Structure 1
Amino acid sequence: MARKVEASERHTLSVIVDNEAGVLARIVGLFSARGYNIESLTVADVSADHAVSRITVVTTGTAHVIEQILAQLDRIVAVHKVTDLTALGPHVEREMALVKVAGSGVERDEALRMADVYRARVVDATTGSFVFEVTGSTDKIDTFVALMGEVGLVEVVRTGVVAIARGREAL
């Protein structure tokens, strides 16, 4: 009898933690020890007194694996709250990238045209290169980087995903 295979899904998790040494290492260690992949990880202080940070983790897994991740994160002492933004419903995700493109003549003009279409800002320019800042969904960033690859892509630096639930309530 064939066993049904669960589909792996991408989930964006918000983890509110004490802003103290070692918390990030414990969270990353949890993923690593169990063989769970982290696609994106961002951390930032989110309180006026600098006591609390928000970690945004993008991971993939079956529904069962995601449930395990949520339960295990919730057991870490320094964790105040874990929210699966994907399961919660509508939320806003953004990422920022700095994209360095070198070229001259037609390639340079084409890079500027594509940057305009993707609403990328020129944040540095020399006679032989540009550095663009582009913000948007992961798919938008991926597409922009692929297009720049055709006109002289040199280097890409990305922030990772940040996300927030829609609506009036705070997490």
Structure 2
Amino acid sequence: MRRFRERLGLPGLIDVHTHFMPERVLHKVWNYFDTNGPLIGDLEWPITHRKEEAERAALLREFGVRSFTAMLCPHKPGMAACLNTWAADSARRPPDCLHTATLFPVEHSGPGAAGLRKRHQLDRDRTRRSVSYVHELHALERQELGEEWLRAVCHDNAVRLFLL
């Protein structure tokens, strides 16, 4: 992964799809995937990095990730406020975790939400996927969209979005 970053001239990766959340919520999410909850269906989707928060953050740093998000996902009404409070409390976030917020879509639908545009960023869900991080970076390269696109997806778009 170091060679990948060096070849693109990146100081590190910025991953916008990592899951850090209150421990109680995290264990419920892990259980949901362990038991193939209804939204998963027949897919086998094991948690490959079932570790304490500090260990998961250290693993991301080993991968060359310099910043990441908590990727908080409320799955029922009333959860967003609690998750946003947790995310805003810097003592609860691991170092290098970018401040983000979340919403429950049904509670926040309307013209504003409909007008949001998706911007491509590194979106590698490392807590659930069994495919290696290196494999995922090579999969991005195989898209053959050029080094400028790779730099944008793996770093520059998130730098602009999060004002890093």
TM bucket, shorter chain = under 0.3
Structure possessing the higher radius of gyration over alpha carbons = 1
Structure number with greater CO (CA < 8 Å, separation at least 6) is: 2
Higher helix share: 2
